[in-house]
Amino acid sequence: MEPRFNLFDSPTAAKVAKRFYNASLPLGESTLPKSLRELVELRVGQINGCGFCVDIHTKEAAAAGETALRLNLVAVWRHSTVFTDAERAALALAEEGTRLGDRGVSDETWAEVRKHFDDDQVGALVCLVALINAATRMNVIVHNPGGSYEPGMFADLSS
């Protein structure tokens, strides 16, 4: 697959992408573990069909210590035994927050999230799901393919 368009070739889109990346930096300062953040972003990328995001978050999760077994089972997390109750709550929030048109986030999922995460972590999860959904949509629109990402390659965007 060839990309339709390089967002960084557009001065406006490049500015937005840089600000978008910088808006996500506080999530790295939250107490949500990096591996959990990557699993959530990976699941959203899978749902939205974003090869670029799946590439990024699979590699970043592995770099954060995730095992191949857990990465391979993210797409079927409901039917696996390798995720904690807190991770399952976060993955349910990611799915329901991505598929808002289906029914939105259920009260049951929200109760599970609240049971496992404090207020700051809940806020971080909500922002994480919203930001990765926007990122996946930008990448899918322009057909940004997966396969070439190297962990940390966007670090120079933060300034």
For residue 74, the enclosing domain spans 32-150
Q: Would residue 36 count as lying in a domain? A: yes
- In the predicted model, what is the mean pLDDT of the chain? 94
Instruction: List the one residue out of 114, 122, 63 whose CA is nearest residue 85.
Output: 114
Question: What proportion of the chain, given as a percentage, has pLDDT over 70?
Answer: 97
What value does the mean pLDDT take over residues 22-34? 95
Read off the pTM.
0.94
What value does the mean pLDDT take over residues 80-85? 98
Q: What is the pLDDT of residues 100-159, one digit of tens each?
A: 998 999 999 999 999 999 999 999 999 999 999 999 999 999 999 999 898 878 777 665
CATH number, position 120: 1.20.1290.10
Q: Would residue 9 count as lying in a domain? A: no
**Cβ neighbour number for residue 4 with a 10 Å cutoff:** 9
Q: Would residue 26 count as lying in a domain? A: no
What is the DSSP secondary structure assignment for residue 147, as one 8-state letter? S
Q: What total number of domains does the chain contain?
A: 1
What value does the mean pLDDT take over residues 69-78? 98
pLDDT at 36 over 70: yes
Q: Would residue 114 count as lying in a domain? A: yes
Q: Would residue 50 count as lying in a domain? A: yes
Question: What proportion of the chain, given as a percentage, has pLDDT over 90?
Answer: 87
In the block, residue with structure tokens 């990611």: 94
What pLDDT does 27 receive? Answer: 97
Q: Would residue 37 count as lying in a domain? A: yes
In the block, residue with structure tokens 């191949």: 68
What does the CA dihedral 37, 40, 45, 47 come to, rounded to 10 degrees?
Answer: -170
Q: Would residue 16 count as lying in a domain? A: no
Q: Would residue 45 count as lying in a domain? A: yes
What pLDDT does 153 receive? Answer: 81
